[in-house]
Amino acid sequence: MLELALHILDIAENSTRAGARHVDIHLKEDPGHDLLTLEITDDGAGMDQETLAKALDPFYTTKKVRRVGLGLPMLAQAAESAGGELILSSEPGKGTRLKVTFGLRHLDRQPLGDIAGSLVTLIAGNPDIDFTYCHECQDKIYLLSTEEIKKEIEDVPINHVEILKYIRCHVAEGMKEIGSEA
Amino acid sequence: MAKITIEDLKKIKERVHAETALRDGHLRVKVTVHMGTCGIASGAKEVMDALLREIEEAGVTDVAVTTSGCMGLCSREPLVTVEILNQEPIKYEYMNSNKMRQVFKRHILEGEIQNPFVLARGAETQK
């Protein structure tokens, strides 16, 4: 995977499988400290200490259909090759929090990629889960909350094609407005 | 382009309400794009993008799109399952945007199964 947007899609899918009701995605660009921080927080099942310790092992998975679990290890590798790190914390019954840092201007940092597309895919596939996407760029903030959109559209499903198109445009415009460089 | 506002959401809502009043609101087709790590890494998101764009352009309202996880056939990803009401599900393998567009136009809209891309027919069974 060569784009952070794909990693976000992949990791957030883990949250949805852990039974999360809310998934919070937070990106922060800090050119002053040459830092890009990605945080994904969910209120899913969480992991005990033993599972947590093994989660970054590519040969550990809870699935029965195959013997590898590459999602988190690949993100950890992407962070480490860009001068950052991946920190995973979790509490059974409460949820999981993932924090990944990257050198913002590091040559090997993967580009952000198509964030709008990733969010649309997440929302289309998991209409019952509430996602928030917050992107901070210096002192400007872009925020997308599916909870607020749902309030506005009432009985129209959030995975309706027209709503997904609206979300895609909303994200693209918002990212442009805050001057995201990543 | 004009700035997107919350007003646009209200307009969409009214339009969708008007549309659903015309038909009974039943979905005819369910399309599942497999979005495990393996799927995403081999291009499932592009397939999803292409599918959503086709639905938008065709203006159909009876096709539902969803995602699922890995089912263990990572080497044949991206996988897409098309389920037409009262027909057995069809699983397509090695998908890309072009194949997705073809499957949408020929299979989903016209009911003609695209045999060269088919991996399997029928539902998954758990051992």
Name the residue with higher pLDDT: B28 or B1. Answer: B28
Interface of B with A in 59-88 (CB under 8 A): 61, 64-72, 74
Q: B63-68 and B29-34: which strand pairing?
A: parallel
What pLDDT, on a 0 to 100 scale, did the predictor assign at position B21?
Answer: 62
How near does any CA of chain A get to the CA of B20, in Å? 10
Token duo for residue B77: 């990803």
User: Which chain A residue shows the shortest CA-CA distance from B34?
Assistant: A125
The model's pLDDT over A85-102, given as tens digits with 9 standing for 90+, comes to 999 999 999 999 999 999
CATH of A4-177, one of 3.30.450.90, 3.40.50.300, 3.40.250.10, 3.30.565.10: 3.30.565.10
A161 with B69: Cβ contact below 8 A: no
What pLDDT, on a 0 to 100 scale, did the predictor assign at position B26?
Answer: 75
Residues of chain A with pLDDT > 70, as a percent, come to 100
Structural domains of chain B ordered from first start: 25-121 (3.40.30.10)
pLDDT range class, residue B2, cuts 50, 70, 90: low
The model's pLDDT over B7-56, given as tens digits with 9 standing for 90+, comes to 888 888 888 877 766 566 678 999 999 999 999 999 999 999 999 999 99
Q: Tell me how far apart the alpha carbons of residues A1 and A78 are, in angstroms, rounded to a whole number.
A: 9
A154 with B13: Cβ contact below 8 A: yes
A173 with B4: Cβ contact below 8 A: yes
Determine the 3-state secondary structure of A130 from DSSP: strand
- Bridge-partner residues for A1, per DSSP? none
The model's pLDDT over B9-21, given as tens digits with 9 standing for 90+, comes to 888 888 887 776 6
Partners of residue A62 in chain B, C-beta under 8 Å: none
What pLDDT, on a 0 to 100 scale, did the predictor assign at position A96?
Answer: 94
Distance of CA B45 to the CA centre of its chain: 12
Q: Name the residue among A71, A118, A162 with its Cβ closest to that of B45.
A: A118
Q: Which residues contact B38 (CB under 8 A, 6 or more apart)?
A: A70, B70, B74, B77
Closest CA to B90 of B64, B68, B114, B73: B114
How near does any CA of chain A get to the CA of B110, in Å? 20
pTM: 0.91
B71 with A149: Cβ contact below 8 A: no
What pLDDT, on a 0 to 100 scale, did the predictor assign at position A65?
Answer: 82
How near does any CA of chain B get to the CA of A180, in Å? 18
Average pLDDT of chain A is 92
The model's pLDDT over A18-60, given as tens digits with 9 standing for 90+, comes to 999 999 999 999 999 999 999 999 999 999 999 998 989 999 8
Q: What is the mean pLDDT of residues B55-72?
A: 90
DSSP character at residue B115: G
Does residue A114 carry a pLDDT above 60?
A: yes
Q: Which residues contact A138 (CB under 8 A, 6 or more apart)?
A: A29, A30, A31, A32, A179
Q: Name the residue among A6, A17, A163 with its Cβ closest to that of B45.
A: A6
Any idea where the domains of chain A sit in the sequence? 4-177
Does residue B126 carry a pLDDT above 60?
A: no
The model's pLDDT over A53-85, given as tens digits with 9 standing for 90+, comes to 898 999 988 888 888 889 999 999 999 999 999
ipTM above 0.90, yes or no: no
Q: What is the mean pLDDT of residues B95-101?
A: 96
DSSP character at residue B61: S
Does residue B127 carry a pLDDT above 60?
A: no
